[in-house]
Amino acid sequence: MHHVIIGNGVAGSHAASVLRERDPGSQITIISAGALLFYNRYDLPDLFRGRCDWVDYLVYPPAFYEENKIKLRRKSLVTEVDTNKRTLTLAHREVVTYDQLLVATGGVAYVPERLLDSIPLMHGFNNFRVAMAMREALPDGGVVIMLGGDALGLDLARTLIETNYKVVVVAGDRTFWPHELTQETRSSYLQALEKMHLDVVDGKQVDRVEQSNGTGPARRVVFDDGSDLTGDVVLPFYGLAPSVDFMSHAGIDIERGVLVNPQLQTTRDDIWAAGDVCQIWSPEHNTYRFYYGWKNVKTMGDVAARNMTGDDVTFTTAVDEILQLKPDGTIYSPFWEYD
Amino acid sequence: MTSIHTDVQIGICGSAGDGTIAVGDILKRAMARAGYRVIAFDEYPAEIRGFGKCVARTRITTEQVYSMKPKTDVLVSLNDAHAIPHAEEVRDFGAVIYDSAPITMIDEGWHISGHLNPGQLPYGLPMREISEQATGSSRSRNIVALGFVAGLYQLPRQAFIDAIAAKFQTKAAEVTQSNVAAFNAGYDNGAEIYRFDKVEVGPPARRTRVHDSTMMTGNAAVVRGCLDAGIETFFGYPITPATSIMERLAVEMPKHGARLLQTEDEISAISATVGAGFAGARAATATSGPGFALMSEMMGLGVMAEVPAVVFVSQRGGPSTGMPTKTEQADLNIAVFGGHGDAKRIVLAPTNVEGCWRCAGRAFEMAEAYQTPVVVLLDLYLSNRYETVVFPNKNPFVRDAWKRPTQDNANEPYRRFELTADGISPRAVPGDPHGIHTATGLEHNEFGRPNDLSAMHFQMTEKRHEKLNAALKHPGITIYKRFGDTGEVDVGLLAWGSTFGETLEAMLLARAEGIRCAAMKVVMLSPLPVKPIKRFLKDCKEVIVPELNYEGQFANLVSGAVGRDVIRFNRVTGKPMAVNEILDTIRSAAGKRKLRKSAA
């Protein structure tokens, strides 16, 4: 049996280790578009505390993969899945066969359409390389403009404030994502951000990002009312968009993410999905929905691997999804937690 | 700026026709130009045509090193089918660079990215596409890959451009321009990459020495040694891996008024060499094992007639045609003992490229001084290996280094084979006044006339043996040397030829682990410096003799001479000895010693 996992994040890596445990004789291959072994992206804000060696972020050492006979193929982008032939085509034109497939490709930073042209002028923070690039572009004590301000961004903002940077959150309807807030609670949470020493700009729509002229901060965020804001780096934090493009002709049901039942099985018997890429049927909500956070995603990896090896377990969320307002007036998101 | 100790080995693997050896050549020349120390060794197939595997490895350092590294830091694949078996050579946190956009679909398992260990870092590069964009053709993808490596590690761009220009200087200017364009395109790509590997290249340690050093192969160093020693005639027949000695000499000797003749075979080559030596010329030939086997009869004549002749023998895998492009050290027996009768000769085995030059030059002195054939025993690894070498400003080799007849006894018949205290007779050559004599392969008396009386045969045999002992004290050459810990040691290593480099590295690593050990290189294999070897062995609780042959030919030679058994570490892989394997053997020997000690 050849289990192939696309994605080298929390869901895929945890699924691989569970698969190895439950199916010792099988062949397990993780296919990853990145160059690195599985590392903890939740820790990336520590770059600003001087932890700049990627090796320090590894969840498993290289020996883990050899000891567990897990083949990890890096820099291997999957471009196509042929579910009839049970093959994947990689960008370097190699075809890989599978018996069972787990899609755990996660998501990429979502950027609203109106800002797509500004992407080259914005920094990301979703992997080590771009996070390092952002760190290198940011002068000591510099100004970070966070567009959107989702929970991932706010986690980074906490560290930036602690390490003496200035953070401006341009709030909008994705602020605090994936937490869903009412209009009333939203304003108290925005006040909480100010208590956390973040500057908040609310009620304005970003039109574009430009390169600043002269010797001041490198970037200029222009609002649709013509006003602007300058900073050293600009980061979009509007939540995640699932990475499913390569599955578009695979013949499985996809809405925004890959649709799976509570056992995380897709509309094909031999394909499962786990992590930020999948929308799970929720009988409680009577709809397919996403579940985020390290703990949820890890649980999904566990559930998928168990069901791929003959079990019949269903996914239930492991994370309290309520954004907490702490007694000191600051906020705490359960999505910041990991183990 | 903190100086980074640089020790990086880059391997390039491709198919014959991919330009693998060519880019390896540019890499090592560029790095030598930039002031680094370089050791390089290429592997290539025996077949002249076809698509065999080529591997060019270059070790770039700021400090003196003695061998190739057991693990490569960076591997460039120009052909994944060939490079896949070499992926495991790359160390953890080293880099593997490959074509990320092959021209055709690939069967499962045939792309190198699927064969990397988890600790290795992959770098995919659309080599063909970049080459096509930069030059209009995909042919320069090897140069693109080289440029990528240079850009990735911020190696000095201009040194590469100069090396490319030098490489293609005989071609049309467009060829150089096209290759420079391909290199620059690769360089720019490499420079933009965020590196995750842990390969660090610092500036060269001693920039002032750049112009003093030369990078060359062992065979090129032999040629320089021949020229510096004033070689006058060379006769040879091509054979891998010795051919390049003749090729280079064919270019250089006419410039010095010397002559070279390619003969019809090896028998003719050695015959002409002995003849030229008899006539008083500094003469040499070069061959490999199969050719040297053909030469054995004339080697006997050289010994019997006491004729100076220098024979360079570069060993390859054998017996018979064997493995012409693989290295081995299995011709020690034939070099030292080959031929019939008690035909003792001098055998020198250099251990590095500088040693090739020195042994070549001193071989001519010794051949003349001790009136005998001298074999300089190389091997493919040493013959083809590149090293940066610093030569002395003054040519150290002595010309006309033989004892000539005096005029004191001019009225008496000339005794060419006069029995003297040191066994060395005054030597006249044809044309010398009062030097008329008979030279023959028959046993002879002092005048050279045939004489097979028992007493005469004994005296002459003894003379031919004893005179060679003086070679053990020949000036200007290190015939043995001890390295590492002094005094008593747990493990001693005794090595010869090219394997000594790996042995020395292994010994240094073992010392770093706290094992008391030392290594001795033996350059003169015949006559063997028995006393120093005995002294060394007396200091060693365990003795390891690593060598690239199955039988342990050097171990046999030493054990027979000193009456002590040794740990034989023999490999016949066709490849240079692996440092880590020697190191493991050292650890094992040191461990055994400890166990015995604690049991006692």
Task: Say if residue B1's pLDDT is above 50.
Answer: no
Omega before residue B241 within 30° of 0, cis: yes
Distance (Å, rounded) from C-alpha A37 to C-alpha A54? 10
A96: chain B residues, CB-CB within 8 Å = 108
A35: chain B residues, CB-CB within 8 Å = 121-123, 196
- What confidence score (pLDDT) does residue B527 get? 98
Between β-strands B90-99 and B121-125, what pairing exists: parallel, antiparallel or unpaired? Answer: parallel
Beta-ladder partners of A235: A146
Query: Model-level pTM?
Result: 0.88
Q: Determine the 3-state secondary structure of B439 from DSSP.
A: coil
Q: Which of A4, A96, A28, A268 is nearest to A258 (CA)?
A: A268
Amino acid present at A190? L
Q: The tokens of A231 are what? A: 């900073």
Contact A35 B108 (CB under 8 A): no
Q: What is the distance of C-alpha B353 from the center of its chain?
A: 6
Q: Which of A94, A97, A123 to mutate to test the interface with B (most CBs of B within 10 A)?
A: A94
Segment A218-245, tens digit of pLDDT = 999 999 999 999 999 999 999 999 999 9
Q: How far is A66 from chain B (nearest CA, A)?
A: 8
Count of domains forming chain B: 3
Helix and strand tally (H, E) in chain A?
6, 22
Contact B194 A93 (CB under 8 A): no
Contact A36 B102 (CB under 8 A): no
% pLDDT > 70, chain B: 96
- Please, are residues B511 and B483 in contact by the beta-carbon 8 Å criterion? no
- What confidence score (pLDDT) does residue A320 get? 83
pLDDT, average across residues A127-145: 96
> Worst-scoring range by mean pLDDT, A50-54, A167-171, B387-391?
B387-391
What CATH code is carried by the domain that includes residue B294? Answer: 3.40.50.970
Interchain contact A66–B (C-beta under 8 A): yes
Contact A75 B124 (CB under 8 A): yes
% pLDDT > 70, chain A: 100
B362 versus A216: which is more confidently predicted? B362
Q: Which of B104, B113, B118 sits opposite A62 (nearest CB)?
A: B118
User: Looking at B375, B390, B405, which one is the last position of a domain?
Assistant: B390
B436 within some domain: no
B75 within some domain: yes
Contact B100 A91 (CB under 8 A): yes
Q: Which of A36, A71, A95 sits opposite B196 (nearest CB)?
A: A36
Residues 6+ apart with CB under 8 A from B560: none
- What confidence score (pLDDT) does residue B52 get? 87
Verify that B170 and B222 share a domain, yes or no. no
Contact B118 A65 (CB under 8 A): yes
Distance (Å, rounded) from C-alpha B250 to C-alpha B248? 5
Distance between start and end Cα atoms, chain A: 30
B105: chain A residues, CB-CB within 8 Å = 93-95
pLDDT range class, residue B547, cuts 50, 70, 90: very high
Contact A75 B113 (CB under 8 A): yes
- Assign domain A2-106+243-308 one CATH number from 3.50.50.60, 3.40.50.2000, 3.40.605.10, 3.40.50.2300: 3.50.50.60
Verify that B242 and B367 share a domain, yes or no. yes
Write the DSSP assignment of A175-187 as a string of letters.
TTTTS---HHHHH
Amino acid present at B591? G
Verify that B180 and B246 share a domain, yes or no. no
- Kindly provide the ipTM of the predicted complex, given to two decimals: 0.92
What CATH code is carried by the domain that includes residue B32? Answer: 3.40.920.10
Q: Which residue of A has its CA nearest to B92?
A: A62
Give me the residues of B, 88-117, that contact A with CB < 8 A: 92-93, 99-102, 104-108, 110-111, 113-114, 116-117
Q: How far is B14 from chain A (nearest CA, A)?
A: 18
Interchain contact A74–B (C-beta under 8 A): yes
Contact A95 B106 (CB under 8 A): yes
Query: Residue B83: is it exposed, middle or buried by C-beta count within 10 angstroms (0-12/13-18/19+)?
Result: buried
Q: The tokens of B219 are what? A: 């065979």
A-B CB pairs within 8 A amount to 67
B432 within some domain: no
Alpha carbons within 13 angstroms on the beta-carbon side of residue B125 total 32
pLDDT, average across residues A201-211: 95
Residues 6+ apart with CB under 8 A from B229: B282, B360, B361, B362, B363, B364, B365, B397, B399
B411 within some domain: no
B421 within some domain: no
B110: chain A residues, CB-CB within 8 Å = 94
pLDDT, average across residues B102-125: 95
Give me the residues of A, 4-63, that contact B with CB < 8 A: 35-37, 54-55, 62-63
- What confidence score (pLDDT) does residue B380 get? 96
Ramachandran quadrant class, B93 (left: phi over 0; alpha: psi -120 to 50; beta: rest) = left
- Please, are residues B361 and B229 in contact by the beta-carbon 8 Å criterion? yes
- Please, are residues B298 and B345 in contact by the beta-carbon 8 Å criterion? no
pLDDT range class, residue B204, cuts 50, 70, 90: confident
Q: Which of A92, A128, A133 sits opposite B100 (nearest CB)?
A: A92
Q: Give the CA dihedral A13, A17, A18, A23, nearest 10 degrees.
A: 130
Task: Say if residue B10's pLDDT is above 60.
Answer: yes
pLDDT, average across residues B78-97: 96
Interchain contact A131–B (C-beta under 8 A): no
User: Looking at B364, B390, B416, which one is the last position of a domain?
Assistant: B390
pLDDT, average across residues B71-80: 97
Give me the residues of B, 114-133, that contact A with CB < 8 A: 114, 116-119, 121-124
Contact A95 B116 (CB under 8 A): no
Domain holding B91, by residue range, is 7-205
Contact B107 A96 (CB under 8 A): no
Verify that B301 and B374 share a domain, yes or no. yes
- What confidence score (pLDDT) does residue B410 get? 73
Phi, psi dihedrals of residue B266, rounded to the nearest 5°: -70, -30
Verify that B201 and B321 share a domain, yes or no. no
pLDDT, average across residues B23-28: 96
Task: Say if residue A124's pLDDT is above 50.
Answer: yes
Task: Say if residue B208's pLDDT is above 60.
Answer: no
Q: Determine the 3-state secondary structure of B176 from DSSP.
A: helix
Task: Say if residue B314's pLDDT is above 90.
Answer: yes
Verify that B253 and B187 share a domain, yes or no. no
- What confidence score (pLDDT) does residue B45 get? 75
Segment B564-591, tens digit of pLDDT = 999 999 999 999 999 999 999 999 999 8
pLDDT, average across residues A76-104: 96
B194: chain A residues, CB-CB within 8 Å = 129, 132-133
pLDDT range class, residue B89, cuts 50, 70, 90: very high
Task: Say if residue B406's pLDDT is above 90.
Answer: no
pLDDT, average across residues B222-241: 97
Q: Which of B99, B108, B199 to mutate to test the interface with A (most CBs of A within 10 A)?
A: B108
- What confidence score (pLDDT) does residue A315 get? 96
Q: The tokens of A74 are what? A: 């890096």
Q: Where in chain A are the domains?
A: 2-106+243-308, 111-238
Interchain contact A90–B (C-beta under 8 A): yes
- The rounded mean pLDDT for chain A is 95
Distance (Å, rounded) from C-alpha B212 to C-alpha B192? 34
Distance (Å, rounded) from C-alpha B436 to C-alpha B363? 27
Phi, psi dihedrals of residue A245, rounded to the nearest 5°: -55, -40
Give me the residues of B, 337-376, that contact A with CB < 8 A: none
Task: Say if residue B144's pLDDT is above 90.
Answer: yes
Task: Say if residue A130's pLDDT is above 50.
Answer: yes
Q: Which of B318, B240, B299, B312 is nearest to B551 (CA)?
A: B318
- Identify the helix (H) or strand (E) that includes residue B28: helix B20-33
Q: Which of B121, B123, B128, B199 to mutate to test the interface with A (most CBs of A within 10 A)?
A: B121
Q: Which of A75, A82, A97 to mutate to test the interface with B (most CBs of B within 10 A)?
A: A75
Interchain contact A64–B (C-beta under 8 A): yes
Q: Which of B99, B108, B124 sits opposite A96 (nearest CB)?
A: B108
pLDDT, average across residues B6-15: 96
Verify that B30 and B174 share a domain, yes or no. yes
Q: How far is A10 from chain B (nearest CA, A)?
A: 17
Q: Which of B448, B523, B517 is nearest to B479 (CA)?
A: B523
Q: Which of A37, A93, A129 sits opposite B194 (nearest CB)?
A: A129
- What confidence score (pLDDT) does residue B187 get? 98
CATH topology of domain A111-238: FAD/NAD(P)-binding domain (3.50.50)
Contact A94 B116 (CB under 8 A): no
Contact B101 A76 (CB under 8 A): no
Q: Which residue of A has its CA nearest to B195?
A: A129
pLDDT, average across residues A252-265: 96
For tokens 């075979």, name the residue: B265
B51 within some domain: yes
Contact B117 A64 (CB under 8 A): no
Q: Determine the 3-state secondary structure of B52 from DSSP.
A: coil
- What confidence score (pLDDT) does residue B412 get? 86
User: Looking at B341, B366, B390, which one is the last position of a domain?
Assistant: B390
pLDDT range class, residue B248, cuts 50, 70, 90: very high
Verify that B174 and B241 share a domain, yes or no. no
Verify that B71 and B130 share a domain, yes or no. yes
Verify that B317 and B359 share a domain, yes or no. yes
B38 within some domain: yes
Contact A94 B196 (CB under 8 A): no
Amino acid present at A102? L
